[in-house]
Structure 1
Amino acid sequence: MSDRLDGTVALVTGASSGIGEATAVALADQGAAVALVARRAERLEELAGKIRDDGGTALVLAGDVTVERQAREVVERTVTELGRLDTLINNAGVMLLGPVVGAPVEEWQRMVEVNVLGLLYCAHAALPHLLSAADDDPRHVADLVNISSVAGRVARSGSAVYNATKHGVGAFSEGLRQEVTGRHVRVSLVEPGATDTELSGHNRPEVLEGIKKRFSGVERMRAEDIADAIGYVVTRPRHVAVNEMLIRPTEQTN
């Protein structure tokens, strides 16, 4: 990484496990004060303790970003308690797969709420602060990173609604990028392939079995691999923007 994040503040949603947890650690290691957002407060406290033990600054903000009021509150508390907001990592997400025919509609609702609405609420609340940070020391640039998926590029039978939410994230990211990039707010889309996290664990048993079969011969990436990529994105010099990054395990074909 070429440019440390000393003197900046990052907010990471979905920080209680997986990619969010690893990213919070990576950004703290680069000098950012980190606001940790998720519903599981006890997991956030554990993570905050680790970051503080390593000399970093961490703020625990338990909340549900699918509730607009709470999404706005975590952003405002970050700015109030840590002084500013330079980086937003929209990582909170849920993946509930299965056929469209006969699907539990509540699974679709949950994915739309978390993957789309939660991301939009956080982005809307954060943008004024990111624009302000981009005009200020120490870096004169700010970053909004949306975590999507390979599913945001390739539609597959059995994941139609998940595909729809992640394609939506991609479209939103590109439209917003064009709107604010001239003001030095960089909007980046990171699209991981198969990664060893808790993401797939919320699926129905028959769906889990299909996921295991599909990736049985693939060495999955680790959360730290994606965190490393996110760290690369947000530490580029001011004149460099990484707009999109697709990351797959070497053995994953699609």
Structure 2
Amino acid sequence: MQHNIANKVVVITGASSGLGEATARHLASLGASVVLAARRKARLDALVEELTAAGGKAIAFETDVTRAQDLHALMQGAVAHFGRVDVLINNAGLMAIAPLSETKVEEWDRMIDINIKGVLYGIAAALPLFEKQNSGHFINVSSVAGIKVFSPGGTVYSGTKYAVRAISDGLRHEVGGAIRSTTILPGAVDSELKYGSSHEQSASNVKDFYQQAIPADSVARAIAYAIEQPADVDINEIVLRPTVQEF
């Protein structure tokens, strides 16, 4: 079904590393035009150069998903360059693990701003375009921590990922028959997500937990599977984790 990916314009947040970077590589190899968004522009530019050298189509925009205007500018830039947007992958995320008793309120705020509001800002920027086109596909990255609370330590992180799942399901119901909505819920996947914890003991626990991680392109393939389906097939949720992962 590669023809269902070829020539689609796919916007990816958090594209400078991990899941976003792997997904950009995979989709570009299948013929998609990829629009890369993240704060680290130099890393995006290097990835664009790599993908373009390999015959792919890619552009990059410096984007902070906690700023609604950045997401709006990203979508407008994608349309200006490629003429349309077919898929938005809301992938940017932060996982700051620490017990609630550490009261790391600033980290809670940051996770809410990136993991929840960042997704909402992406939806707000893309939905009017998708409605105008009468087509489009939202892919929101949640987590297995959006199915079961990852505690102690991940309570607030889980809260944000439960929210992504709830927002995705409500979005699916509201946007009707022409716009698709997929939630990806990965387990331990090799990415920079594991470096988000400032609490020393939690960071050590996370490092141990991630020794079982599977490569980021595992998620890229799941995303491609959702995109490549015919327009009347909506893959709503994909849960994937390492075979050995119990949680």
Alpha-carbon offset, residue 2 of structure 1: 4.8
Q: 1:248 aligns with which of 235, 241, 245?
A: 241
Report whether the alignment pairs 1:143 with 2:137: yes
Q: Distance in 2 between matches of 1:198 and 1:11?
A: 20
Alpha carbons 1:4, 1:30 under 8 Å: kept:
no
Tell me the equivalent position of 1:189.
Answer: 183
Q: For residue 167 of structure 2, what is the aligned residue in structure 1?
A: 172
CA distance in 1: counterparts of 2:4 and 2:56, whole angstroms: 14
Contact 1:3-1:236 at 8 Å conserved across structures = no
Aligned alpha-carbon RMSD (Å): 1.3
Q: Tell me how far apart the structure 1 counterparts of residues 210 and 38 of structure 2 sit (CA, whole Å).
A: 28
Aligned to 1:96: 96
Code of the residue aligned with 2:140 in structure 1: it is N
Give the counterpart letter for 2:175 in structure 1. Answer: V
State the partner residue of 1:207. 202
Q: C-alpha deviations, 1:8-51, integer Å up to 9, x for none? A: 21100000000000111112122221110000000001110111
The CA distance in 1 between the partners of 2:192 and 2:29, in whole Å, is: 23
The aligned counterpart of 2:69 is 69
Question: Does residue 34 of the first structure (1) align with residue 28 of the second (2)?
Answer: no
State the alpha-carbon separation in 2 of the partners of residues 83 and 102 from structure 1. Answer: 48
2:10, 2:181 → 1: CA distance? 14
Residue 138 of structure 1 corresponds to none
Q: Give the 5 Å matches for 1:1-20.
A: 1-20=1-20
2:208 alignment partner AA? K
> Is residue 78 from structure 1 mapped to residue 74 from structure 2 by the alignment?
no
Give the whole-Å Cα distance in 2 for the aligned partners of 1:4 and 1:54.
20
1:31 aligns to what SS in structure 2? coil
* Residue 221 (str. 1) matches residue 214 (str. 2): yes
Answer yes or no: is the 8 Å Cα contact 1:37–1:74 preserved in 2.
yes
Q: Which residue of 2 aligns with 1:163?
A: 158
Q: Aligned with 2:19: secondary structure?
A: helix
Structure 1 unaligned blocks of 5 or more: 136-140
Alignment partners' CA distance in 2, 1:231 and 1:32 = 10
Aligned counterpart, 1:235: 228
Residue of structure 2 in register with 1:154 after alignment: 148
Would the aligned equivalents of 2:9 and 2:82 in 1 still touch at CA under 8 Å? yes
Could you tell me the TM-score, scaled by structure 2's length? 0.95
Please give the alpha-carbon distance, in whole angstroms, between the structure 1 residues aligned to 2:116 and 2:139.
14
Count of aligned residue pairs for this structure pair: 245
Paired with 1:179 and 1:7, the residues of 2 have a C-alpha distance of 27
Aligned AA for 2:246?
T
CA–CA separation in structure 2 for the residues paired with 1:73 and 1:213:
39
SS for the counterpart of 1:196 is coil
CA contact (8 A) 2:194 2:207 kept: no
Q: Is the 8 A contact 1:2 1:237 kept in 2?
A: no
For structure 2, which runs of at least 5 residues remain unmatched after alignment? none
- What's 1:52 paired with? 52
